[in-house]
Structure 1
Amino acid sequence: MTFTHLIPFLAGLLLLYYGAGWLVQGASLLARSLGLAPMVIGLTVVAFGTSAPELVVSMVSAFKGKSMIALGNVVGSNICNIALVLGLTAVFQPVTTSRIVITRDIPLMLGVSAFLMLLSLNSMIGRFEGMLLLGGIIAYTVFNYKVGLRIDRTGAGVTDPAAPDLVAHGQVRKRWVQYLMAAGGIAAVVVGADLLVDAAVGMMTALGVNEKFVGLTVVAFGTSVPELATSVVAAMKKEMDISLGNLVGSNVFNLLSVVGASAMIRPISIPGGFVHSGLVIDYLVMMAISALPWILMRRDLTITRRKGLILFGCYAIYVMFLILKS
């Protein structure tokens, strides 16, 4: 990898990180000013904003015909969110969640993962399958919206994680500034995604590795940087009440909307076939790691530091496996 590829790659990472932050802050403040409930903002605006890098990178990859970067980015990001992000977060501060995440959200994430695997068996995710996945994210969003409204009526709503610090520092700006922040965030994410994909393709060519490897590792880690930074900072501030729920929601968003939108732009083909390409192993790893929080938390609802090290160790072993295989 030369500086020719490294500089645009780092520039793309920075734009993705700051762009996602601007998008979440601007859109959250705008939604608050329009009177939306905090829980609804958290389940819609913030969920979309934190997954915006994965969405745009995969869509740009699909548009440029790099389907394995698009699909590898989703699979790798989901593995990264649970094993690396949740693992490191728990090392800084044990993560405790609610029972509903264990009984409803994680099984739903596993079910969606199994459905995507079923769609991939013929080595092609076409536009019709993309429509099914996009329909799934619409149903998921509507369901969470109704649940959020019901919780808000009981007075037990979850606050918008992007807004409290802004209010505390007097940063609730005029509406035109909120529009500008959201629009600037979208522009930065789009430009950053384009730089990142081009740099990833350049690295792939220079290092002689396939695009699936690049999507599963370098690009997946890059698009998970916002979740990693946000979760670690929240852990250091001991504000971990909705951390796992957000990560699980982000993974569901990735599987449904990111793959769905990418397939709608251009059908995603799997060169060499689903089995022979080795992607079936990556899917199984994603599902196994996605099930780990359920296994580790089903009794005490907590990821301790020791359990966090287990998750982080699983990610390190998986990356080492990819490197050795490549």
Structure 2
Amino acid sequence: MNAWLWAGVLIIAAWAAHWGADKLLLPLKLLRKQWGLTASAGAAFLAIVTASPEVAINITSAARGVSDIGLGNLLGSNIISIPLITTIAYLASRRQFKNNQQHQKHLEENTLALNKRSVIVLSLPYLGIIALVAVLTLPEGWRGLQPVDGWIMLGAYAAFLAHAIIRGRKEGKKVSWDKKDIVLSVAGAATITVGAFFIVKATENIVSALGISQIIGGLFITGTMVTLPEIFKTWSVVKGGEVTAGTTSVIADNAITMSVAFFPLALVNTPVEDFQLYWVNLAFVGLMPLLYSVFVHQSKSQHGFSSWQILVFDTAYILYILTMLFVVLDLF
């Protein structure tokens, strides 16, 4: 099969993995209502499923001996996701919501309004996770992903989730469970596994056909493809009036990718072979949630993002692409 045919397989596999994740979401949504989790805490909880394709991809890449694809996927998806999702959320929110007069003010002010709690519950702890990854993998004596690092990052995610749930509890509600939905959830889990296998397999063949490294394939092919289906989910959720939930879920997804999806790569001792490429990418991974946190806090009257701040997110991603092309890869 040539690169174009494998690109088609990659697209289908990415959509299949996210379809599976959607089917797994319902049981967790019911548990969220039953346990009385707020939107921000619920986002951290539901991310266990929404980030499952990325976790499955890294498990598959580690098992197949192509952990560089998983490492590229881990970094690349966390760089592109925040600029992409915040831009889509902003565009989707440029409409009237029924029985929401406050949103009219947001439209007039050209803002994407968010609950301030989302920064405390999600983005600041996520920055802590990134800082921990840097401490564990950047120093010369510790460079690379090792088993002990994986266990530490699992512990970090457990703390992240516990913090989100403890700070975001309210009174729970009664929910009913449907057998059909449970069966679909099982089918969803199987689909994620199959989809992840073919995503990794397709990336292997595409990078081989194009003559590029596996980590570059993970950064720009796998990392981008697994993020694209999130566009439609974000668009749908925000258009339905759930602006905070639709916009902040990306932070919770990324926290899982940098911790739980880190684990399988660490177990197989993934080395950092190109240190400059690694630290530059990790720096941009940290820059995105840093901008997110600063911008949400910047306005005293209304927490969220204005149109110029959305533009800064997109400019930061363009800067990343230029840095990779002209500095790291030195292609021009």
1:95 and 1:243 in contact (8 A); partners too:
no
Instruction: Return the letter of the residue paired with 1:55.
Output: V
Residue correspondence of structure 1 range 45-124 to structure 2 within 5 A: 45-93=45-93, 94-103=111-120, 105-121=122-138, 122-124=142-144
TM-score, normalised to structure 2's length?
Answer: 0.82
SS of the residue 2:258 aligns to: helix
CA spacing shift, 1:78–1:226, aligned 2, 3 Å = same
Instruction: Return the letter of the residue paired with 2:88.
Output: L
In 2, Cα distance between the equivalents of 1:178 and 1:201? 34
1:27 and 1:182 in contact (8 A); partners too:
no
Instruction: Return the letter of the residue paired with 1:285.
Output: F
Q: Alpha-carbon deviation of 1:103?
A: 4.3
2:121 and 2:163 in contact (8 A); partners too:
no
Offset from partner CA, 1:32-81 (integer Å, 9 cap, x none): 79x44354982565211110111101111111122222122111111122
Instruction: Return the letter of the residue paired with 1:98.
Output: N
Instruction: Return the letter of the residue paired with 1:111.
Output: G
In 2, Cα distance between the equivalents of 1:197 and 1:323? 24
2:312 maps to which of 307, 310, 324: 310
Residue correspondence of structure 1 range 1-326 to structure 2 within 5 A: 2-29=3-30, 31=31, 35-39=34-38, 42-43=42-43, 45-93=45-93, 94-103=111-120, 105-121=122-138, 122-149=142-169, 152-153=170-171, 174=178, 176-264=179-267, 266-272=268-274, 274-275=275-276, 278-300=277-299, 301-323=303-325, 325=329
In 2, Cα distance between the equivalents of 1:219 and 1:234? 24
2:45 and 2:161 in contact (8 A); partners too:
no
In 2, Cα distance between the equivalents of 1:146 and 1:296? 25
Alignment gaps of 5+ in structure 2 = 94-110
Q: Percent same amino acid among aligned pairs?
A: 19
Q: Alpha-carbon deviation of 1:104?
A: 5.3
SS of the residue 2:261 aligns to: helix
Instruction: Return the letter of the residue paired with 1:71.
Output: L
CA spacing shift, 1:197–1:252, aligned 2, 3 Å = same
In 2, Cα distance between the equivalents of 1:320 and 1:89? 25
CA spacing shift, 1:143–1:302, aligned 2, 3 Å = closer
In 2, Cα distance between the equivalents of 1:65 and 1:123? 19
Q: Alpha-carbon deviation of 1:319?
A: 3.3
Offset from partner CA, 1:172-223 (integer Å, 9 cap, x none): 762x212211111111111111111111111111111111111111111222
In 2, Cα distance between the equivalents of 1:103 and 1:14? 32
CA spacing shift, 1:298–1:37, aligned 2, 3 Å = closer
Alignment gaps of 5+ in structure 1 = 160-166
CA spacing shift, 1:211–1:289, aligned 2, 3 Å = same
1:50 and 1:250 in contact (8 A); partners too:
yes
Once superposed, what is the RMSD of the aligned Cα atoms?
2.6
Worse-superposed segment, 70-79 or 102-111: 102-111
CA spacing shift, 1:124–1:294, aligned 2, 3 Å = same
Higher relative contact order (CA 8 A, sep 6+): 1
